[in-house]
Amino acid sequence: MILMYIFETYLDIRQHRALKLTTLPKPLLGVISDEKFKRSRDYSLDKSYFHFVHEAVTILMDTTILYYKVLPWFWKKSGEVVTHVGLNAENEIIHTLAFLAGAMVWSQITDLPFSLYSTFAIEARHGFNKQTIWLFIRDMVKGILLSMILGPPIVAAIIYIVQIGGPYLAIYLWGFMFVLALLMMTIYPIIIAPLFNTFTPLPEGVLREKIEKLAASLKFPLKKLFVVDGSTRSSHSNAYMYGFFKNKRIVLYDTLIQQCSNEDEIVSVIAHELGHWKLNHTVYSFVAVQLLMFLQFGGYTLVRNSKDLFESFGFEDQPIIIGLIIFQHTIIPLQHLLSFCLNLVSRAFEFQADAFAKNLGYAPQLRAALVKLQEENLSAMNTDPWYSAYHYSHPPLVERLQALEDPDSKKED
């Protein structure tokens, strides 16, 4: 864990040096205004300094928790609390829920100062934050309540599956998580997301007509087209799709509509997103994630009964949830390697989706939209190649613009 922190801090230092450069990359000269570049540089440096502090505090806390065996102490104390209130601490599900409740309180307390500073200092200083403190608190409370509603049945189900799983445990765990993923993909946009934002149908007009025409030309089964009030919390912009089979929906952030100068720029962004659908990128990504999850559960089944592993972390018994936590700690380097590989694939998908929009005739509009979104979101203009290769799921703007201009590069398969 410490070695990963040292390696990633080295990459952060390289990126910080790139952010401090006072000149734009050559391909962006004359494309990005000096005023936007200065604001982007200031914003990126602010976030970079904050990131250094946040990561240092996080590794210090995590190392302290492991070194001083806080986890076994907290597991024991949570059992005592369960007994004190008259419940059966021998019931592993009840004991686990008490342990996780305490962990959630600790997480909220330790994360809150960083969330407040990020939102009301950095984001506000650079003109992005639109939240009031009351809206921030309301969202936080809603998140906690959702965790209290959704968490216990999921945790109870996982513990029960492990208790009865036998030799096919990995398959049962994966099957449960697969069904849960499908369920969450279904209910999140319909039930959970509206708890935090307002979704309204995109009004009739030129923009709606062009999007519907594009979707029809690609045989995309568009059922609903929404605008979400992202501007109530932030000035950052986005667009996304969701839905299964013949029931697809497209959501535009109101900030995206405000920031793009004409309808064709917005449509070019939608063309890019439809490229992901047409080229089956979302399916490939989902399958890859499911495969990796199955492999992780397979690894967990190999060590879940390892008494030595639990004892090395200070545990006398072998709680199921603790086994999962310990296993996640032990495979951190492998997880980072897999994340890097997934980012490589994601960046290739982004180039292919750009090429898809280009082949539909939207290259000039997409280029203008990418530049506009880069400017309005004050995204980093200078990036270190090592840092971006390791962290970025999307290619830097320079590479995307070059690919759009090159008639032979990055064509979709």
Region 357-376: what's the mean pLDDT? 90
- Please report, as a single letter, which amino acid is at residue 208: R
Query: Does 352 have pLDDT greater than 90?
Result: yes
Q: Which of 78-92, 146-160, 202-216 has the highest mean pLDDT?
A: 146-160
CA distance 120 to 129: 7
Query: Does 283 have pLDDT greater than 60?
Result: yes
- Please report, as a single letter, which amino acid is at residue 401: L
Percent of the chain with pLDDT over 90: 57
Percent of the chain with pLDDT over 70: 98
Query: 245 falls in which pLDDT band (50, 70, 90)?
Result: low
CA atoms lying within 13 Å on the CB side of residue 15: 25
CA distance 260 to 376: 9
Region 329-351: what's the mean pLDDT? 90
Region 324-350: what's the mean pLDDT? 90
Ranking 241-250, 297-306, 397-406 by mean pLDDT, the lowest is 241-250
Mean predicted lDDT score pLDDT of the chain: 89
Please indicate if the annotation marks 391 as binding a ligand: no
Region 202-208: what's the mean pLDDT? 88
| pLDDT at site 407 | 63
Q: Which of 23-27, 56-60, 160-164, 223-227 has the highest mean pLDDT?
A: 56-60
Instruction: Give percent helix, percent strand, percent coil of the chain, each to the nearest 5.
Output: 75, 5, 20
Region 150-171: what's the mean pLDDT? 92
Task: Fill in the DSSP letter of residue 190.
Answer: I
| pLDDT at site 412 | 46
Please indicate if the annotation marks 281 as binding a ligand: no
| pLDDT at site 51 | 96
| pLDDT at site 413 | 44
Query: Does 261 have pLDDT greater than 80?
Result: no
| pLDDT at site 106 | 94
* Cα separation values, 203 from 78, 92, 227, Å: 53, 52, 9
Would you list the domain boundaries of the chain? 1-126
Query: Could you tell me the pTM of the whole model?
Result: 0.86
Find out whether 331 and 299 touch, Cβ atoms under 8 Å. Answer: yes
Region 300-321: what's the mean pLDDT? 90
Task: Fill in the DSSP letter of residue 226.
Answer: E
Short-list 18, 69, 8, CA closest to 311: 69
| Residue pLDDT, tens place only, 20-50 | 999 998 888 888 888 999 999 999 999 999 9
| pLDDT at site 60 | 96
Query: 100 falls in which pLDDT band (50, 70, 90)?
Result: very high
Catalytic annotation, residues? 273, 354
Please indicate if the annotation marks 350 as binding a ligand: yes
